[in-house]
């Protein structure tokens, strides 16, 4: 008997990095995500078979020992050891898993390229937690780490306001339906940032600055954004947020790479990779033409990407 689980991808619109310190963040669950199929096989060789697919086809495969999760074979050893770590963390929370006689077949299917940084890890953690009936936030802490906003997005039906309090996740779904959504685009920078490395970089900054004022301002921006009705006001908020994070991280704002762009640009997630937001009154053709000329070919429209059940 096969069981299927599905989780949403994510984007963090406000609060990147500072959400780790308790800032209120506005996060967006996506229409695209990842599924997990689990099937018990008739063979009994104490093996877990794992195959991961993206829109381009098979992108990761591994075999693990069903009892100690040692790697028996893989086309990516580093990822296989991470998968082993996940299974060990799952087993620690629920010792009853994988106790059926027979080998296990796990198949994941991403709706997007794993390099895009839209939640290949968080959707995996969410799906594994559903399969094993365990706490996904604890599983995240024991494996990849992070604030957990992406885990909240994995099952949300519309945008959320998210914050950490004493290390515990708190969030609520909100109505965030910008009337100017047609003017918003997500542009892929061409390479995936490693979140753990970026978080370590930010924590080094915390040794000399607690960013208290910045956390307050970003939280106010997150709280106010859902009430904005004009594109120009939204752009002003995004520019303020970008300036704050540029100062916190001591890195140039994304607009410095596109000084002639007619609109507002905001970095998302781990700065320097993944996607950034473009807000502009340019026509669709104008936006696509501008970024294509700059060598950026993956441009996604807001309404095509963001989940928002009304």
In tens, the pLDDT along 133-192 reads: 999 999 999 999 999 999 999 999 999 999 999 989 999 999 999 999 999 999 999 866
Q: Which residues pair with 303 in a beta bridge?
A: none
Would the CATH topology of 2-173 be identical to that of 181-305?
Answer: no
Determine the topology of domain 181-305 in CATH. Alpha-Beta Plaits (3.30.70)
Q: What is the pLDDT of residues 222-241, one digit of tens each?
A: 999 999 999 999 999 999 99
Q: What is the pLDDT of residues 245-263, one digit of tens each?
A: 999 888 899 999 999 999 9
pLDDT at 197 (0 to 100): 62
Given a cut of 80, whether residue 195 has pLDDT beyond it is: no
What's the CA gap between 72 and 212, in Å, rounded? 48
The share of the chain scoring above pLDDT 90, in percent, equals: 86
Element at 277 (helix H, strand E): strand 275-279
What's the CA gap between 200 and 207, in Å, rounded? 11
- Computed on alpha carbons and rounded to an integer, the radius of gyration of the chain in Å comes to 20
Maximum pairwise Cα distance, the chain: 63
Given a cut of 60, whether residue 201 has pLDDT beyond it is: no
Q: What is the pLDDT of residues 55-84, one digit of tens each?
A: 999 999 999 999 999 999 999 999 999 999
- To 5 degrees, how large is the angle CA 167–CA 171–CA 177? 145
* Domain ranges, ordered by start, for the chain: 2-173, 181-305
What's the CA gap between 102 and 79, in Å, rounded? 24
Query: Which two tokens mark 211?
Result: 């960013």
Stretch among 55-69, 100-114, 200-214 having the lowest mean pLDDT? 200-214
Q: How confident is the model at residue 206 (pLDDT cuts 50, 70, 90)?
A: low
Sheet of 299-301, strand order: 264-267, 275-279, 184-188, 299-301
Determine the topology of domain 2-173 in CATH. Ribosomal Protein S5; domain 2 (3.30.230)
pLDDT at 171 (0 to 100): 97
What's the CA gap between 252 and 292, in Å, rounded? 22
What's the CA gap between 34 and 237, in Å, rounded? 32
Q: How confident is the model at residue 198 (pLDDT cuts 50, 70, 90)?
A: low
């Amino acid at each position: 008997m096969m069981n299927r689980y599905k989780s949403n991808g994510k984007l963090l619109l406000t609060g990147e990095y500072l959400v780790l310190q308790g800032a209120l963040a506005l996060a967006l669950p996506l229409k695209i995500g990842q599924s997990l199929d689990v099937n018990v096989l008739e063979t009994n060789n104490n093996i877990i078979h794992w195959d991961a697919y993206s829109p381009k086809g098979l992108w990761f495969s591994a075999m693990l020992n069903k009892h100690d999760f040692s790697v028996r074979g893989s086309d990516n050893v580093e990822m296989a050891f991470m998968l082993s770590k996940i299974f060990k963390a799952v087993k620690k929370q629920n010792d009853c898993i994988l106790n059926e006689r027979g080998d296990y077949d796990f198949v994941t299917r991403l709706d997007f390229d794993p390099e895009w940084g839209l939640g290949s890890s968080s959707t995996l953690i969410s799906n594994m937690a559903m399969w094993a009936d365990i706490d996904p936030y604890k599983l995240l802490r024991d494996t990849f780490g992070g604030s957990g906003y992406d885990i909240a997005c994995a099952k949300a039906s519309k945008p959320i306001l998210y914050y950490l309090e004493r290390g515990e996740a708190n969030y609520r779904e909100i109505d965030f339906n910008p009337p100017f959504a047609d003017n918003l685009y997500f542009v892929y920078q061409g390479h995936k940032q490693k979140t753990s490395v970026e978080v370590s970089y930010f924590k080094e900054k915390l040794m000399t600055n607690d960013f208290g004022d910045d956390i307050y301002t970003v939280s106010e921006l997150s709280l106010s954004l859902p009430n904005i009705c004009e594109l120009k006001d939204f752009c002003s908020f995004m520019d303020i947020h970008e300036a704050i994070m540029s100062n916190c991280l001591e890195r140039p704002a994304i607009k410095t790479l596109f000084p002639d762009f007619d609109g507002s640009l905001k970095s998302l997630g781990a700065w320097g990779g993944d996607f950034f937001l473009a807000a502009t009154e340019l026509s669709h053709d104008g936006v696509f033409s501008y970024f294509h000329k700059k060598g950026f070919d993956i441009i996604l429209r807001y309404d095509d990407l963001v989940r928002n059940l009304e």
